């Protein structure tokens, strides 16, 4: 009995050995059959059953292939991938985000690289986000925010980017959307853009490596095209220009239509906030040669300006003044030439009743009523026209005097043009906007109030008046300004001008710079030795003109 049981157990064990052997053979054969002719595993259900040794060998093989391709100047697909070296660029990104007060927050880390053999100084970086950013803390730099753009300048200790080196900057940011749309790096007066939106016409184009946004919020290199008629230096592989922005497609008026006032802001016909940025002529009877389409187009296309102000002096004590013996038909002709040129260019235009020596606008109120009745009827269908009804009341003229005048002239304009923006001057050479904010004109829409500053004279005192007025809900328009003292001459105060532009951009204030002419004074935008009156280039500009151009361009 015992021998019989032993025999049965032996048979069972033998059968099991045979079965195991057959299964092992089949498994080995299956793996062998599952490999393609290159020895690579093509069986999906066991694709993860690769040993560490197999994976290491596979990675090594691929790296060797890519190294070989690189030595040949080819990419991994065997295609030529020659790229020009990048001279200057930035890397922008964050590792993680968190939510707070309904905003997405992150710690943004930025490295700015100098791949040249020389140290560079005085850099600036504009980072443009898809959502409006708010920043509380920044290190290794200073920041300014304008709408969607964070402008970063260096701290005292990292002004220089060493040759072949980099500098680092960082900040804590909150926004509805942290996507980086673009960046612009400014070095030695040139722009190095993260991306360049160029024409779809690539018939005569070359491919350049530039930096653009990747899905993880960082800036990666991509390929773009550059038409040969662009003024770009691509030797470093990144598009450069002389700080000139690409103008928006279409004209300003085509894109934004008739403007109106909402709260303290100008808004376009879609209801979006809009900022008018441009220049004022000097007295058009003294400098009529600058009232022409070519001059205005130069300012529009090269400066990215959208506004021209036509300064028509009322009383000069001689025939240059509309109300002091001037040829009214001839002066009206200059106004019409300016309005026509601006309209054809799709720019906005201010007709400025430029009181100055006459102090009180009521001095020539009958002339004003006749003038504004005529022009508002003539341009009632020109929805790009804005009326400034009294430039700079002064000489002790009170707000009560100005308000009475305005309440006479506004209905004259409204009879013909129901919706045009009307700018009202304010006491003390259009400075006391804080006083006006306590007793504004009521009963009419689209009324704004002028403030004028000359940066070397007007500083915190006037800026505080503007802040008070805005806080009180008064719509303020900087319809005249310059960088020097109130005489229109003297030295340029760049520091005060920068502070003014911070206030302007932080509050979406529209502005017009005095003045488009070559008069031998600091406030003139054109050099006194320039004879250009039509096509105006950067070489024709005074120091004031270059600064204002730079600010209009957003730099």
Q: What is the set of active-site residues?
A: 392, 480
Cα angle value 69/73/75 (rounded, 5°): 50
Provide the β-strand partners of residue 351. 310, 387
Dist. CA 514–CA 523, nearest whole Å: 6
The position carrying tokens 């694709």 is 47
Q: 75: which 2 tokens?
A: 């990419």
Q: Are 430 and 452 in contact (CB under 8 A)?
A: yes
- Where would I find the beta strands (DSSP E) of 189-232? 190-193, 205-213, 219-227
Give Cβ neighbours of residue 335 (< 8 Å, ≥ 6 apart).
284, 310, 312, 351, 375
Q: 300: which 2 tokens?
A: 């529009």
Q: Are 479 and 450 in contact (CB under 8 A)?
A: yes
Residue 385 backbone phi and psi in degrees, to 5 = -90, 135
Q: Are strands 180-187 and 190-193 parallel, antiparallel or unpaired?
A: antiparallel
**Dihedral sign of CA atoms 414, 419, 421, 427 in order:** positive
**Residue 149 Cα to chain centre, angstroms:** 7
The position carrying tokens 């406030």 is 523
What is the DSSP track for 488-519?
Answer: S-S---HHHHHHHHHHHHHTT--EEEEEES--
- Cα diameter, the chain: 145
- The closest of 106, 145, 114, 105 to 127, measured between CA atoms, is 145
- The closest of 500, 452, 454 to 477, measured between CA atoms, is 452
Q: Are 254 and 384 in contact (CB under 8 A)?
A: no
Helix axes 543-552, 293-303, angle to 10 degrees: 60
Dist. CA 396–CA 243, nearest whole Å: 44
Q: 43: which 2 tokens?
A: 């069986």
Residue 484 vs residues 281, 313, 449, 476, 527: alpha-carbon distances, Å: 17, 21, 22, 21, 15
Provide the β-strand partners of residue 175. 104
Dist. CA 88–CA 225, nearest whole Å: 19
Residue 268 DSSP code = -
Provide the β-strand partners of residue 279. 308, 513
Dist. CA 486–CA 458, nearest whole Å: 8
- The closest of 278, 308, 279 to 515, measured between CA atoms, is 279
């Amino acid at each position: 009995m015992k021998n019989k049981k032993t025999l049965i157990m032996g048979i069972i064990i033998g059968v099991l050995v045979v079965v195991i052997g057959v299964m092992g053979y089949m498994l080995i054969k299956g793996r062998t059959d599952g490999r393609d002719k290159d020895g690579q595993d093509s069986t999906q259900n066991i694709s993860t059953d690769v040993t560490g040794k197999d994976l290491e060998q596979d990675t090594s093989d691929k790296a060797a292939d890519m190294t070989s391709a690189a030595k040949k100047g080819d990419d991994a697909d065997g295609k030529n991938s020659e790229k020009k070296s990048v001279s200057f660029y930035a890397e922008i990104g964050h590792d993680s985000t968190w939510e707070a007060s309904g905003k997405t927050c992150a710690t943004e880390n930025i490295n700015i690289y100098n791949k040249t053999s020389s140290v560079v100084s005085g850099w600036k970086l504009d980072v443009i986000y898809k959502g409006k950013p708010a920043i509380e803390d920044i290190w290794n730099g200073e920041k300014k925010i304008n709408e969607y753009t964070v402008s970063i300048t260096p701290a005292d200790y990292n002004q220089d980017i060493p040759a072949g080196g980099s500098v680092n900057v960082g900040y804590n940011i909150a926004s509805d959307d942290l996507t980086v749309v673009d960046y612009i790096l400014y070095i030695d007066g040139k722009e190095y853009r993260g991306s360049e939106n160029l024409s779809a016409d690539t018939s005569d184009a070359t491919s350049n490596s530039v930096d653009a946004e990747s899905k993880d919020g960082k800036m990666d290199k991509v390929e773009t095209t550059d038409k040969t008629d662009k003024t770009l230096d691509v030797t470093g592989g990144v598009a450069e220009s002389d700080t000139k922005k690409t103008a928006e497609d279409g004209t300003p008026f085509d894109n934004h239509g008739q403007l109106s006032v909402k709260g303290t802001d100008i808004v376009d016909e879609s209801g979006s906030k809009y900022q008018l940025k441009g220049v004022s002529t000097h007295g058009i009877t003294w400098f009529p040669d600058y009232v022409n389409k070519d001059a205005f187009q130069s300012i529009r296309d090269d400066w990215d300006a959208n506004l021209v102000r036509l300064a028509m002096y009322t009383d000069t004590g001689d025939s240059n003044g509309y109300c002091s013996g001037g040829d009214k038909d001839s002066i009206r002709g200059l106004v019409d030439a300016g309005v026509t040129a601006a309209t054809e260019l799709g720019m906005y235009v201010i007709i400025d009743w430029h009181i100055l020596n006459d102090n009180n606008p009521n001095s020539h109120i009958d002339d004003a009523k006749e003038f504004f009745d005529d022009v508002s009827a003539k341009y009632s269908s020109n929805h790009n026209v804005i009326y400034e009804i009294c430039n700079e009341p002064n000489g002790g003229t009170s707000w009560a005097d100005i308000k009475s005048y305005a309440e006479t002239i506004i209905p004259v304009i409204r009879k013909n043009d129901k919706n045009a923006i009307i700018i009202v001057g304010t006491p003390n050479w259009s400075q006391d906007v804080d006083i006006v904010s306590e007793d504004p004109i009521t009963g009419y829409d689209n009324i704004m109030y002028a403030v004028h500053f000359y940066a070397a004279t007007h500083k915190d005192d006037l800026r505080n008046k503007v802040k008070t007025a805005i806080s009180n809900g008064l719509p303020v328009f900087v319809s005249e300004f310059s960088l020097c003292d109130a005489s229109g001459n003297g030295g340029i105060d760049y520091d005060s001008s920068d502070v003014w532009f911070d206030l302007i951009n932080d509050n979406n204030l529209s502005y017009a710079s005095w003045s488009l002419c070559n008069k031998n004074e600091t406030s003139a935008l054109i050099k006194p030795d320039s004879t250009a009156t039509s096509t105006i280039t950067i070489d024709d500009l005074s120091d004031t003109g270059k600064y204002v151009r730079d600010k209009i361009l957003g730099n």
